[in-house]
Structure 1
Amino acid sequence: MELTFLSPLPRDVMDAHGVPPGYTYALADRVRFQEVDALLHANNVAYVAWFETLRTRYLRDMGVLDCFESFPAFVVAEQTIRYRAPLLLDQAYVAAGRTTRVGRSSFAQDYVLMADGKLCAEGTAQMVNVDPDTGKGHPLPEAARRIFIDQDGAES
């Protein structure tokens, strides 16, 4: 099935590429030259960037960013990645994500990275919305919380 890079994928395309059920948002892309090491394997830092691209597109496309009066100040409080299989130069992949928990000023997301129907990496991120003046947690708008809950089934 032909992939459209960096555009949200419909569920049938996600299924065709092995994205597990429950993941609500996915993007396809390919491994670029600047993302590989001397053996032409994707460097571990590339996975961080891929999940960040997924997260920022998800927040925009799902309408979460529209819920804020000014641009939110999300910070990554914690991130994990478990590498399962290597990705190689020019290999296409699908990165998928979902919000699993939403708190007063934070939310948690899970990610998977699939290539050729195989799980290549899985990750998590704990995000906090901070007040840029104080650096302390700032409440998420209720409309943003509702998107996480209604679209992804996030626990609150």
Structure 2
Amino acid sequence: MFELTVTPRFYETDAFGHVNNTVVTGWFETARSPLFELFNTEGNKPAELPLILARIEVDFVGQIYYGSDVLLRTGIERLGNSSFVVLHQAWQNGKLVARGKAVQVHFEHDKQASSPIPVAFRQVLEQHLGALPEEKSL
């Protein structure tokens, strides 16, 4: 599991005074950065990483407000042959406020096709397999 704390910025709020729903998908993408780094063994440019995003989903289970940090948790739910499902949670003031999933696909850009996740990457991803805690404190 990976954790990252973000501080909501004023411009990320909407007319209702809470963080706009479009912001959360960006936070979750930022929270996947450690996973991107796992696949960047040769100092590749981002466009050369052997990953593409196939799907994202977000459930908003509480309102997120400006003025309090948000803890993001990231883990791996499932590993397939050429894809894996990333789990996300967002916590503010001890409450789960959003959860989501992202499907990442191991991808060969030159062939424009998915390919099996290499064993070395699979072994690292397996270390992060499992459900995320349903409580803020571990």
1:55 alignment partner in structure 2: 32
Q: What amino acid is the match of 1:127?
A: Q
Q: CA deviation at 1:44?
A: 0.8
**Could you tell me which of 106, 122, 125 is aligned with 1:145?**
122
Unaligned 5+ segments in structure 2 are 131-138
Structure (1 or 2) with the greater strand fraction: 2
Partner deviation per Cα, 1:120-154 (whole Å, 9 max, x = no partner): 001011111211123210232211100111x2236
> Could you say what secondary structure the match of 1:124 adopts?
strand
Q: CA deviation at 1:32?
A: 0.7
Aligned length: 127
> CA 1:69/1:35 → structure 2, altered by over 3 Å: closer, same or farther?
closer
2:136 alignment partner in structure 1: none
TM-score, normalisation: structure 1: 0.73
Unaligned 5+ segments in structure 1 are 1-23
TM-score, normalisation: structure 2: 0.82
Runs of 4+ in 1 over 3 A off after TM superposition: 66-71
Q: What amino acid is the match of 2:115?
A: H
**Could you tell me which of 74, 77, 87 is aligned with 2:51?**
74
1:109 alignment partner in structure 2: 86
Q: CA deviation at 1:83?
A: 0.2
Task: Supply the RMSD in Å over aligned alpha carbons.
Answer: 1.9
> CA 1:35/1:69 → structure 2, altered by over 3 Å: closer, same or farther?
closer
Q: 1:34 & 1:122 partners in 2: Cα distance?
A: 22
**Structure 1 segment 118-129 matched on structure 2, within 5 A:** 118-129=95-106
User: Residue 65 in 1 paired to residue 39 in 2?
Assistant: yes
Percent identity for Structure 1 against Structure 2 = 26
